[in-house]
């Protein structure tokens, strides 16, 4: 029988690793693709069984490297799930955004998802599989990081474009939009301000930030058969952030219930 393969890009990071581990529940093989090959090796070792969790060195912004990733997947089975998770933000204002930052953030957070999807689309047709794009609340509202946010907003539209054009092949396409997740991506900002997570927590209705397993559970749901009729959506995993802010509701209503 043909093995079902999941690809998780950026899988050496905290969110990617949690997603890879969770997708191992119902895929035969999970490829942990990351530009940092040492970190990908370490992540795969940490999760377990080296025949099922396979590290792959890949730069998702490079079409040749992505083609090699697709070939590595084809050698192990048929891709049923593609998770475009590799991403990074420059924490700058629009005024500070250079053309280089603009292009680099768009290449990694948007174009790479297009390259990866096109590289495995035939396998997704064969498996009637699905794509899950890891977007961000930054793609829905303005929370800083302009180039990254524009790319994530584009990624939400790419999610819908795939859903509409490829639905006839049984391919589903969905996105998850996490709020703040404490990962290595925050290291520099946490070093400047050790209170950064405490300060962020205040704006979240659930009064906590998101953890990598929260994101992984949502990806697992969207990639699985329980979501068989769900395509083209963005599922915020944001502890209520994009629903509104209690503090502002308290000011507007002057009610102590908020
Ligand atoms: N951490 C958060 O607060 C947060 C919030 C919303 C969305 N997200 C999204 O979640 C995803 C994962 O973020 P994270 O916080 O785990 O980041 P992270 O920095 O911990 O991990 C990202 C991983 O991507 C890899 N990577 C970078 N460039 C790559 C490339 N060109 N090719 C292949 N791999 C590459 C890195 O080596 C790293 O292992 C990203 O798409 C990010 O935008 C994160």
Domains defined for the chain, CATH in brackets: 4-183+210-243 (3.40.50.720)
**Active-site pick, 64, 125, 148, 204:** 148
Residue 136's SS3 state is: coil
Q: Is 152 one of the annotated active-site residues of the chain?
A: yes
What b/e readout covers 75-101, taking b as 16+ CB neighbours within 10 angstroms?
ebbbbbbbbbbbbebbebeeeebeeeb
Q: Which atom of ligand 1 is nearest to the CA of 60?
A: 32
Closest residue (by CA) to atom 21 of ligand 1? 13
Q: Is 42 one of the annotated active-site residues of the chain?
A: no
The predicted pLDDT at position 31 comes to 98
Closest residue (by CA) to atom 41 of ligand 1? 87
Query: 88 alpha carbon to ligand 1 midpoint, in Å?
Result: 5
Taking the chain, what is the end-to-end CA distance rounded to the nearest angstrom?
55
10-residue mean pLDDT profile of the chain (258 residues): values are 96 98 98 98 95 98 98 98 97 95 98 99 98 98 97 99 98 98 92 94 96 98 98 98 95 95
Residue 180: CB within 6 Å of ligand 1?
yes
Q: Are 218 and 238 in contact (CB under 8 A)?
A: no
Give the separation between CA 242 and CA 198, rounded to whole angstroms: 18
The predicted pLDDT at position 91 comes to 82
Transcribe 94-135 into DSSP letters. Answer: TTT--HHHHHHHHIIIIIHHHHHHHHHHHHHHHHT-EEEEE-
Here the tokens at position 193 are 């301000």
Give the predicted TM-score (pTM) of the model.
0.98
Give the separation between CA 235 and CA 127, rounded to whole angstroms: 23
Q: Rg for the chain (alpha carbons), in Å?
A: 18
Q: Which atom of ligand 1 is nearest to the CA of 108?
A: 31
Give the separation between CA 101 and CA 80, rounded to whole angstroms: 33
Q: Which atom of ligand 1 is nearest to the CA of 43?
A: 39
Give the separation between CA 86 and CA 20, rounded to whole angstroms: 12
Indicate the DSSP class of residue 77. S
Residue 105: CB within 6 Å of ligand 1?
no
Q: Choose which residue among 9, 12, 14, 15 to substitute to test ligand 1 binding: the one with the highest number of ligand atoms within 8 A of its C-beta.
A: 15
Closest residue (by CA) to atom 23 of ligand 1? 10
Query: 8 alpha carbon to ligand 1 midpoint, in Å?
Result: 11
Q: Choose which residue among 19, 87, 209, 215 to substitute to test ligand 1 binding: the one with the highest number of ligand atoms within 8 A of its C-beta.
A: 87
The predicted pLDDT at position 1 comes to 81
Query: 257 alpha carbon to ligand 1 midpoint, in Å?
Result: 37
């Amino acid at each position: 029988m043909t093995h079902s393969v999941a690809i998780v890009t950026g899988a050496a990071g905290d969110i990617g690793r949690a997603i890879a581990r969770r997708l191992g529940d119902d895929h035969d093989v999970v490829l942990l693709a990351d530009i940092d090959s040492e970190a990908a090796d370490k992540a795969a070792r940490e999760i377990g069984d080296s025949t099922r969790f396979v590290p792959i060195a890949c730069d998702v912004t490079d079409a040749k490297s992505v083609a090699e990733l697709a070939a590595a997947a084809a050698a192990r089975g048929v891709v049923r799930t593609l998770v475009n998770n590799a991403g990074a933000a420059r924490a700058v204002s629009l005024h500070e955004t250079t053309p280089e930052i603009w292009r680099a953030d768009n290449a990694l957070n948007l174009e790479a998802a297009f390259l990866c999807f096109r590289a495995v689309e035939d396998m997704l047709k064969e498996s009637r599989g699905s794509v899950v794009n890891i977007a961000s609340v930054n793609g829905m509202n303005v929370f800083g990081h302009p180039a990254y946010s524009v790319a994530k907003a584009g990624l939400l539209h790419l999610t819908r474009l795939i859903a509409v054009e490829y639905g006839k092949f049984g391919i589903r396409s969905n996105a998850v939009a996490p709020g703040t997740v404490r990962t290595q991506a925050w290291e520099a900002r946490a070093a400047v301000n050790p209170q950064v997570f405490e300060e962020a927590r205040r704006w979240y209705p659930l009064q906590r930030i998101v953890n990598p397993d929260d994101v992984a559970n949502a990806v697992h749901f969207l990639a699985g058969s329980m979501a068989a009729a769900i395509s083209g959506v963005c599922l915020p995993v944001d502890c209520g952030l994009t629903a509104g802010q209690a503090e502002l509701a308290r000011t507007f209503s002057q009610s102590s219930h908020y």
